[in-house]
Structure 1
């Protein structure tokens, strides 16, 4: 259907229903409400471990131990700029389908890993890091391994599969959306792409929102987990995930009102995603018209008698109130108080008081008692003197001085000094709406500074992938991504290939359940593990190569 046909079809559609709520757009002009609240990794991984190697300390995320020590370990390696938490949703899905354990590593220079030389991002160094981490984790009891890598991590996985120390244990190799030919061609425009990204973010939620809206990750659930591990706090230098660990979920749930974050102010008036999300309005209280309504009395003292207002209710009787000409107010009499008069003649407008502008105006004090001192208000006037008022710098206000209050001062000396801002105790949390240019978070790694290593990551990748001794699986977001060498190898049946649609470059984050299903079927096809009870009901079948 052409664009012209689409416009004609749209013009024949009935008009949309008007919105019954006021829509307030958040940054980037979002049209519907989405949850950009960051989420902790603890829902997806069982534990973390910081592994000490010759290259530094590497953060490793692990799911629960499998039911048997010989079950395969799926070692996931992320792409450049991502982290080990980019595999969080995939780990949850694949362990639900087959018996295995997912081991997700923060590569050097990424996430919580603290390398001794973070600038050394060469392919040889990265492969050596993976080898040492696995040896530290398992030692001489190395279990079967399935190496899964995305983009840069895919290039590392392919090279690690050829290591003599790991070659015997690598039972499967999965590469996601990385091909030598297309990768080398994309390097020319990589710097332009990096310059187009924002350098700072005002909040974690702002970073998650950008991640989804820019298309880096199309799955908001995955971005909520992975994006905090890609940015650091400018002031503390710590990863944003550290802040999530410090936030107590139990406290916020106990109060029933989670702490409002600085960037959530603009989203308070956003419409709900569906009518079911609308909170029902409370029904108004029903009052019987045959019963009088009594207003809850104030707890203040009566200034004349010095008694509480509740004492007056005890002394009041229906006969007394009728004798005084003040019948009890009924529920249905409220609507009659504001009714307009029957004719304009009944409107009585009081004449305005005439005041001479050359004489000060003194308000007649009330004859009531001062509830604090017990003295008449006239006694206070006697105690006040002109000298005291002049000493305080506050002369009596004249009637003609009202119009002069808003006039500008004659000289800068007449300007009143601005009050100092309130000082806040440092032991109390302060939530302030930040300005638009506030730069609180930045990227964990400067990818533009690793340009000298880019070509080394992908050069010779196709040949190494085809020559790997383990079974091979290639997952792509588009069929156009194959280069000539892999096209020939695929036609010869040297590896299994699967193309997943409706996803971007981060295939495992955009469609984690589909990637997990393909990987689980791949492991079952080569008899590397068995399906769980839930996986058996899912009818996992390895899709044929395409």
Structure 2
């Protein structure tokens, strides 16, 4: 009881630690600890009160332990790299006439209108992976690596002018879907690519090349008949290029343009700070997993799955002989790093002279497009004056996604795909125009009448 003499007074045996513990227990009025049970074990139900032992009590008890219950937990932040085969059906290499290079193009879906997705500066076609997976059941999704990006190789990978890159888009479209191209030319210039790009966790087996007759109507082969209906979707730099390509009016049956998070006014205002942004990026990464982790933590991508498949397309591995040289590797490289480190594929610093050209006059060009158009933004604060007036006049559809960052298609791929599907359905892309039935011959058409009372004239 409180205030009583604690156990372990004079004459109590035990170690000094036991004496201190017993005195502390007594000082707080707590009961003394019970002695541990005898080695014989606790009695079981059905055991006699006279101390008789249950014959089954001494038998060893064996229980099944779930497998892996004592395994070491998976460390937090462990990254599993994505494989492009999970999202895309195949990728092809196309060589459009007069473009001086081989363009890598990811394809998903075999039928329906074409949705060509253009990535932003420094990204690759893989940035659209999660969106393509949602669209490919109804549409053909085409995502090229632009000049100087991803797996595309050209004679001049540093020509980032809007004229050159918008012409690249038109040439790729015409080569793959133009009516003037032939299946024979397609078979000669398009080769199926089986191995997964650098950074894939598990390379998938090579996809066999389809015969020309089978591929004649597919997205990788030019159509012999009328070209399919299509929509251009572009993010950031790719949004500007989509507008310039659409404004050229050289893509047949272009039935829509969707621009993702790029506005002339805010883009031009941000250009003076872009070099600081590029300088703040790591120059290289020891592994692709580290690159994905950095992308998520820095906010470059808020979706770990999207970053795991997109980041490998933005990097290239240093060659061993280049590792010791200054300035080796991709953009931002030059801070050292051992052989096998991953550097940026695109030299974004070299695109600086073209930045203003990408965006100057973009808002007016977007508003002047005659096809249906939509602007997807992360917030209304990104709208400039021209687009604000145009939106109030109903010249385009405005879609806001405030929970996403700049890479909307990576941060919110499901919602992005839903909005694209809604846009395609709303404007009946690829569908015949609505027709109204005509009355049979000899039947006078019924004209609408004004609702309301009929006043008799006297």
1:215 aligns with 2:299: yes
Contact between 1:60 and 1:103, CA under 8 Å: does it hold in 2?
yes
Matched, 1:120 2:205: no
More helix as a share of residues? 1
TM-fit CA distance, 1:503: 1.1
Residue by residue, what CA displacement relative to the aligned partner does 1:166-222 show, whole Å, maximum 9, x if unpaired? 1x4110110000000000000000000000000010001011111111100110000
Map 1:297-446; keep pairs closer than 5 Å.
440-446=341-347
Q: 1:509 aligns with which of 410, 416, 423?
A: 410
In the alignment, which residue of structure 2 is the partner of 1:78?
Answer: 119
Structure 2 residue 169 is the aligned partner of structure 1 residue 130? yes
Distance (Å, rounded) in 1 between the aligned partners of 2:309 and 2:321: 19
Alignment pair present for 1:498 and 2:399 = yes
Q: Which residue of 2 aligns with 1:255?
A: none
- 1:281-292 alignment to 2 at 5 Å? none
Provide the TM-score with structure 1 as the length reference.
0.53
What is the match of residue 246 of structure 2? Answer: 161
Deviations 1:325-356 (A, max 9, x none): xxxxxxxxxxxxxxxxxxxxxxxxxxxxxxxx
| 1:139 aligned onto 2:40 | no
2:435 matched to 1:523?
A: no
Moved more, 454-463 or 54-63: 54-63
**Conserved in 1, the CA contact under 8 Å of 2:258 and 2:376?**
yes
Question: Which structure 1 residue ranges, 5 or more long, are not aligned?
Answer: 1-20, 26-31, 239-434, 531-546
Q: Deviations over 1:13-45 (max 9, x none)?
A: xxxxxxxx9x999xxxxxx72341211101111
**Alpha-carbon separation, structure 1, partners of 2:125 and 2:131:** 11
Q: Partner residue of 2:267?
A: 183
In the alignment, does 2:379 pair up with 1:478?
yes
Q: Distance in 2 between matches of 1:65 and 1:237?
A: 43
Q: 1:170 aligns with which of 254, 258, 262?
A: 254
Q: How does 1:451-466 map to 2 (within 5 A)?
A: 451-466=352-367
Distance 1:489 1:50 in 2: 39
CA gap 1:177/1:236 in 2 versus in 1, 3 angstroms:
farther
- Over 3 Å counting, the alpha-carbon distance change for 1:237 and 1:230 in structure 2 is farther
Question: Structure 1 residues 232 and 147, CA, compared in 2 at 3 Å: closer, same or farther?
Answer: same
Contact 1:151 1:178 in 2 (8 A): yes
| TM-score calculated relative to the size of structure 2 | 0.63
Q: Cα offset for 1:95? A: 2.6
| Residue 529 of structure 1, CA deviation | 5.2
Indicate the structure whose relative CO is greater, using CA pairs within 8 Å and at least 6 residues apart.
Answer: 1
Cα 1:516/1:114, change in 2 over 3 Å: same
Give 2:82's aligned residue. Answer: 39
Segment drifting more, 498-507 vs 32-41: 32-41
Query: Which residue of the partner structure matches residue 235 of structure 2?
Result: 150
Deviations 1:26-69 (A, max 9, x none): xxxxxx72341211101111111100122210000001201xxx
Q: Secondary structure at the residue paired with 1:528?
A: coil
Secondary structure of 2:141's aligned partner: strand
Question: C-alpha distance in 2, partners of 1:123/1:504?
Answer: 25
Which residue is equivalent to 2:110?
Answer: 65
User: 1:94, CA displacement in angstroms?
Assistant: 2.2
Contact 1:100 1:529 in 2 (8 A): no
Asked if residue 201 in structure 1 is aligned to residue 285 in structure 2, the reply is yes
Distance 2:73 2:228 in 1: 54
The answer to whether the Cα contact below 8 Å between 2:320 and 2:340 also exists between their aligned partners in 1 is: no
Residues 35 and 102 of structure 1, relative CA distance in 2, 3 Å threshold: farther
Q: Give SS of 1:75's match.
A: strand
Matching residue of 2:140: 101
Q: Please name the residue that 2:319 is paired with.
A: 235
Alignment of 1:268-279 (within 5 A): none
Specify which of 225, 250, 260 is matched with residue 309 of structure 2. Answer: 225
Q: 1:237/1:441 Cα in 2 relative to 1: closer, same or farther (>3 Å)?
A: farther
Aligned to 2:349: 448
Q: Secondary structure of 1:161's match?
A: helix
Q: 1:41, 1:187 → 2: CA distance?
A: 32
Given that residues 77 and 157 in structure 1 are in contact (C-alpha distance below 8 angstroms), is that contact kept between their aligned partners in structure 2? Answer: yes
Secondary structure at the counterpart of residue 160 of structure 2: coil
**What are structure 2's unaligned runs of at least 5 residues?**
1-69, 180-225, 323-335, 432-458
Partner SS state of residue 273, structure 2: helix
The answer to whether the 8 A contact 1:201-1:439 is kept is no
